[in-house]
Amino acid sequence: MKKIMLCLLLITLLSNFNKITENPEKPKLIIGIVVDQMRYDYLTRYYHRYGNDGFKRLLNGGFSLENAHFNYIPTYTAVGHTSIYTGTTPNHHGIIANNWYDKFLKKSIYCVDDERYLPVGTDSKNGKKSPHRMFSTTVSDQLLLAQNMSGKAIGIALKDRSAILPVGHTGTAYWFEGGDKGNFITSSFYMKSLPKWVVDFNNKQKAQFYASKTWNTLYDIKSYKNSTADNSIFEGVFKGELTPTFPHKLSNLKAENGNLSIISETPFGNSITLDFAKATIIGEKLGKSNETDFLSISFSSTDYVGHKYGVDAIETEDTYLRLDKDLADLLKFLDKQVGADKYTVFLTADHGAVRVPAYLDSLKIPAKYFDAKKFKTFLDSVSNKNFKTTELVENMSNYQLFLNKEKITSLGLKVDEVAEIFANELVNFETINKAVTAKTLQNSNFTKGILNVLQNGYHQKFSGDVMLIPNPATISGGRTGTTHGSGFSYDTHIPIIFYGNGIKKGVSKKHYEITDIAPTIANLLKIEAPNSTTGKIIEEVFK
């Protein structure tokens, strides 16, 4: 009898095990977190200062990819968010920058502007937006399609592009309007009027609350050993401040710094994003239905702070220490609201950043500034020397030359030959590392190195005729603060951490690319990957 009972018990256990392995319970909510301008080394540099419940909880309880990179140029915000959620690069999804020159319209365009739609929640043009320039589906699009359009996909951020592009064509997006408003708004692409919970949130005037605060260091300023001195010549300042030093009293500064927009350039912009994320989860009952929901959160203030102060500033370190607390708050909220084992998080960044070139130069490390006026003079001299005219370049932007094809043809010249001459000559400019023609990118297959990532970012229909790559640690702009956009490691090396339902604990030092996130999440959910995906499934993250 005992043997029979044991056999029956074994059969039951095996049956249940098979059911679990064949049909594991899917997460009720996917949360994609993008930290704008987060270099990978912000995880390691500040690790000993983080608490146990934010970044450390994700690292110690989840799976971290220590050698993950972007695989295209340019590493800009719109391109990053799109590539993360589509699982492919600009040559497929079509978002080639934040702004770019439209050679058909003969003007510069913005990635999510769309005059066909009306603003919702505001009377300004800031709501005339949509994802129509993105050609690919996102992983959240695929989730809703797989569920016969049941479930919800919502994107939130301070920046419109960071809210809109992640949730693709079928989700809903909300973004922050600063100035005198201080509200989260949307577009008629998504809805006719704001839901009551959004109106209620806006009525709480959280932006006014944060804009009245004083930004001081979270801890004793002497403890910020990972950063340069507070009063550094390599940091920018708010208008109305004489030095880039703590404390920053926002109530005295906001009038000269965009009024309520000022919170975007402080850690409080991340805090209001967290507040709105919580309100979204409650207001939309995310994670409570029979289907899987999707929430995309982009913390944008890290980017604004980085641009102003640079990689090595106390302001940057303090922003990440405060973000760590916000992440801890979010995870605890998810535990309570959704259930500790019922959600899956991935955290990454849309690009990194270079150390302030002027600071590097002060240390005798090669670093320069691209002088656009000087380059234009050089460009004109090349054009005059070879073609006796300076009218062959229609536009230069994002380190791309767009040639005036009509003018070239009228002079009896060939576009490809003109482009080749420009490429051969312009590489001799002092801060240019490489110059490549569109024809070269169309007819060659670069499998590694800087030309491979350039090729991944080249879109035959939209990109220019000559692509320029500046030297490492070379940027456009002033001598304070930082920026991004290159294909070098400081811009491409970012964190990728998976955590929660279906994810095991672990670390990998293998090379992965940002385009691997979307197919991995799709595989976790047992759905089709986005329709232009070129990334691969990261098998080792799964239980």
The secondary structure of 416-434 as a DSSP string is: HHHHHHHHHHHTTSTTEEE
CA 378 – CA 171 distance, rounded (Å): 47
DSSP H helix total and E strand total for the chain:
21, 20
Report whether pLDDT(61) > 90: yes
* CA-based end-to-end distance of the chain: 37
Report whether pLDDT(31) > 50: yes
Report whether pLDDT(329) > 60: yes
Q: Which residues are catalytic?
A: 77
CA 51 – CA 206 distance, rounded (Å): 26
CA 124 – CA 105 distance, rounded (Å): 24
Report whether pLDDT(4) > 90: no
Q: What digits encode the pLDDT tens for the residues 166-217?
A: 999 999 999 999 999 999 999 999 999 999 999 999 999 999 999 999 999 9
pLDDT for residue 22: 45
Report whether pLDDT(6) > 70: no
CA 121 – CA 100 distance, rounded (Å): 28
Q: What is the mean pLDDT of residues 333-356?
A: 98
pTM for this model (two decimals): 0.95
Q: Considering the chain, what percentage of its residues have pLDDT values greater than 70?
A: 96
Q: What digits encode the pLDDT tens for the residues 472-508?
A: 999 999 999 999 999 999 999 999 999 999 999 999 9
pLDDT for residue 475: 98
On whether the CB atoms of residues 211 and 196 are closer than 8 A, the answer is no
Lowest-confidence range among 11-25, 193-207, 433-447? Answer: 11-25
pLDDT for residue 330: 98
On whether the CB atoms of residues 328 and 201 are closer than 8 A, the answer is no
Triad 66, 71, 77: Cα angle to 5°? 90
Q: Average pLDDT over the chain, rounded to whole?
A: 96
Report whether pLDDT(15) > 90: no
pLDDT for residue 25: 87
CA 144 – CA 231 distance, rounded (Å): 50
CATH class of 29-356+487-541: alpha beta
User: Mind spelling out the 3-state secondary structure of 231-286?
Assistant: CCCCCCCCCCCCCCCCCEEHHHHHHHCCEHHHHHHCCHHHHHHHHHHHHHHHHCCC
Report whether pLDDT(2) > 80: no
Concatenated DSSP letters of 291-337: S-EEEEEEE-HHHHHHHHH-TT-HHHHHHHHHHHHHHHHHHHHHIII
Separation in Å, CA 179 to CA 63, 184, 185, 207: 40, 12, 13, 10
pLDDT for residue 5: 52
Q: What digits encode the pLDDT tens for the residues 502-527?
A: 999 999 999 999 999 999 999 999 99
Report whether pLDDT(106) > 50: yes
Q: Considering the chain, what percentage of its residues have pLDDT values greater than 90?
A: 95
Domain residue ranges in the chain: 29-356+487-541, 368-471
Q: If one looks up domain 368-471 in CATH, what number appears?
A: 3.30.1360.150
Report whether pLDDT(21) > 90: no
450 falls in which pLDDT band (50, 70, 90)?
Answer: very high
pLDDT for residue 407: 97
Specify the pairing of strand 29-35 against strand 99-102.
unpaired
47 Cβ contact partners less than 8 Å away, ≥ 6 residues apart: 55, 56
Specify the pairing of strand 432-437 against strand 393-397.
unpaired
CA 492 – CA 70 distance, rounded (Å): 5
Q: What digits encode the pLDDT tens for the residues 107-155?
A: 999 999 999 999 999 999 999 999 999 999 999 999 999 999 999 999 9
CA 352 – CA 447 distance, rounded (Å): 23
Report whether pLDDT(19) > 50: no
- CB-side exposure of 179: number of CA atoms within 13 Å? 10
Q: What is the mean pLDDT of residues 435-463?
A: 97
Q: What is the mean pLDDT of residues 435-445?
A: 97
Query: And the tokens for 91?
Result: 């040559």
